[in-house]
Amino acid sequence: MSSDQTAVGAIFRALVRHDGKMVAGLAVIPGGGARFFLLARRESDEAFIGRVSTWIQQRGAEGIRMERPDVLPQGTSVPEFLLRLRASIAAPGSDPEALEFDVKNPEHVIPTDAAS
């Protein structure tokens, strides 16, 4: 990498249940897009992170900065919460079986100063 190029790192923020099990996550590449990921049924946390990492690497980002996860309070309806979250970040909802969504408003989950 030449001295006039700077490495672009991705920002990742997980959404976890009160027991620490991942539910979803948002990856943002400053200046390069954002994607919301849902954990697939029976997908391990490791496989989930691998899927997110692959997306990040395919976009040329170098490294991932892990933000502090958001924790759902005990008793929260996970499906209902995810539907509301998808709407707030403007993730398209045309395919109810989709596990990944491009995001138009990542600043709703990751503060604007971190995503810029």
84-110 tens-digit pLDDT = 877 777 666 566 677 888 887 666 555
Residue 53 exposure: Cα atoms within 13 Å on the Cβ side: 9
DSSP secondary-structure letter at 9?
-
Query: Three-state SS for 47?
Result: helix
Give the integer Cα–Cα distance in Å for 54 and 60: 10
| Burial (CB count within 10 angstroms: exposed 0-12, middle 13-18, buried 19+), residue 26 | buried
Q: What is the percentage of the chain residues whose pLDDT exceeds 70?
A: 77
Give the integer Cα–Cα distance in Å for 9 and 20: 25
Name the range with the highest mean pLDDT among 44-53, 57-66, 88-97.
Answer: 44-53
The length of the chain in residues reads: 116
What pLDDT is attached to residue 109?
55
Structure tokens of 66? 């892990």
